[in-house]
Structure 1
């Protein structure tokens, strides 16, 4: 990973090439900023920064109970997702998304299978909408595979870096796990010319391409840094999915994943390929603005609405969406009543 640092205050946040490339300012102007979407960043933690709001988190490493970042990688990733739109520094793709720091990596940026598994489990138990995993390994693991599959089955979008082991020719399968698992969205990196970053791994499981070369974002000690890697491309996709989740709260994770395909520009070989996947992800004018009178449903009202829809359609997709909403309710009569209905529906 290439690193260079900028310790000065950064202004004109929307001028950065990566946020413009994915058309983030276009969507902010339509009222979509990822508000209400819960994003778990499984990484080296998130450091305190004037550009970041951290809603909570956990440490799963064995030397500290703090989820504060002591490496820098996690803070950089978090800023790409949700750095605040405050007129200075950088701004994330989904500046109002809720960031949760899951510190599973140590000060050298290394994590263990145990710390990663604990991080994924925490994300599931705390009802995250999206998990960002800007890391990878060459080692397949049944436990890791089962963990990401479980997260996906619980309605969570799982996004991971394709890897930084690509060869000069951009050939072969050089991808990492967990990006190679079917339940995970694999992200490759491109530069400002929309060509593959020379390091970006390739393979048939690549799903989307995003900015990953010379990306400015938040860093340790309230500073900013430019980093390159599929680690930086991944949070752009996470941010876009956070925005889509806000816009389409009733859609399942599988539906949102498929929907993102409609916001891509095909690069390279026509159709899906092993370098850019379905293409470069960017928002378009087609994402309409919400009605002025629209008010977000409470969690209880949303669960009731989705349960009613599931009763009418008997669709597995609708039942799963209702179950996700019911899972987020506190214990009580309403939750028990809806859970009973869903249990019955699952037998049809």
Structure 2
């Protein structure tokens, strides 16, 4: 982008390719709001995490695009009445500021609002996740972010908030759990060690951390399948 924030898509792609060739794990990018909420690329690619913005009341920010490709939201701030963002609610950010009268660009710290303020928060969270577990794949990262997000708006994924508001503590906790394999219970799917797999074991799986039967640090559907399979088999 030039000093006016303008540029060609080809230049952005060239920048992406160079960053990847240098071993970059995360690329953060924010582009301007587009009227009509079109399906925008590269945000809509499956490999990309499309980020929207909410204000401090967890309400949709007026400038933030929506759509089926939106995955997550976080705080970019906004005005209460939905008009142009209120500076009192802006985020202190590293940014450039243009003095149009003097044709001068200033680089520094300023109060701003926008998806440009929201997106780096998600990028930073992903960086922390990779630092905690360098073996995480892109799919695993997206899955953790989706599963740990705080649902907003309509239940489940929607076009305004995606999967919801990022929850850094929950995402990092899940990441750390995946680092340390747990010891599989000595009685396997027989969680109460009664000598048989029965309805009590199913209840134990629902209510206890000992339900991590495959020892991957996460209680998930595969653990339930183990309990139900052995219960039915016996």
TM-score by length of 1: 0.41
Match of 1:126 in 2: 22
Q: Distance in 1 between matches of 2:10 and 2:3?
A: 17
Q: Distance in 1 between matches of 2:30 and 2:172?
A: 27
Match of 2:200 in 1: none
2:50 touches 2:71 (CA, 8 Å); kept in 1? yes
Q: Distance in 2 between matches of 1:227 and 1:121?
A: 29
Distance apart, 1:231 and its partner CA: 2.0
In the alignment, is residue 277 of structure 1 matched against residue 165 of structure 2?
A: no
Residue number among 202, 216, 231 corresponding to 2:92 in the alignment: 216
Which structure has more strand as a fraction of its residues? 1
- Of the two, which has the highest radius of gyration? 2
In the alignment, is residue 194 of structure 1 matched against residue 58 of structure 2?
A: yes
Residue number among 37, 40, 52 corresponding to 1:176 in the alignment: 40
SS of residue matched to 1:218: strand
Q: Distance in 2 between matches of 1:107 and 1:176?
A: 23
Q: Distance in 1 between matches of 2:112 and 2:18?
A: 28
CA 1:229–1:175 in 2, change beyond 3 Å: closer, same or farther? farther
Please show how residues 289-300 of structure 1 align to structure 2 within 5 Å.
Answer: none
In the alignment, is residue 264 of structure 1 matched against residue 146 of structure 2?
A: no
Q: Distance in 1 between matches of 2:12 and 2:169?
A: 35
Distance apart, 1:121 and its partner CA: 0.7
Please show how residues 144-183 of structure 1 align to structure 2 within 5 Å.
Answer: 164-165=33-34, 173-183=37-47
CA 1:287–1:227 in 2, change beyond 3 Å: closer, same or farther? same
Query: Deviations 1:92-131 (Å, cap 9, x if unpaired)?
Result: xxxxxxxxxxxxx100001212211110110111010101
Structure 1 residues without counterparts, runs of 5 or longer: 1-104, 136-162, 168-172, 291-348
Match of 2:7 in 1: 111
1:166 touches 1:198 (CA, 8 Å); kept in 2? no
Q: Distance in 2 between matches of 1:219 and 1:230?
A: 13
SS of residue matched to 1:265: coil
Q: Distance in 2 between matches of 1:286 and 1:130?
A: 17
SS of residue matched to 1:131: coil
Q: Distance in 2 between matches of 1:287 and 1:240?
A: 8
Match of 1:239 in 2: 124
Q: Distance in 1 between matches of 2:113 and 2:171?
A: 30
Please show how residues 263-342 of structure 1 align to structure 2 within 5 Å.
Answer: 263-284=148-169, 287-288=172-173
TM-score by length of 2: 0.60
CA 1:267–1:120 in 2, change beyond 3 Å: closer, same or farther? same
Query: Deviations 1:11-63 (Å, cap 9, x if unpaired)?
Result: xxxxxxxxxxxxxxxxxxxxxxxxxxxxxxxxxxxxxxxxxxxxxxxxxxxxx
Query: Aligned-pair RMSD on alpha carbons?
Result: 2.3
CA 1:209–1:243 in 2, change beyond 3 Å: closer, same or farther? same
Task: Give the structure, 1 or 2, with the largest relative contact order (CA under 8 Å, sep 6 or more).
Answer: 1
Distance apart, 1:166 and its partner CA: 5.8
CA 1:222–1:108 in 2, change beyond 3 Å: closer, same or farther? closer
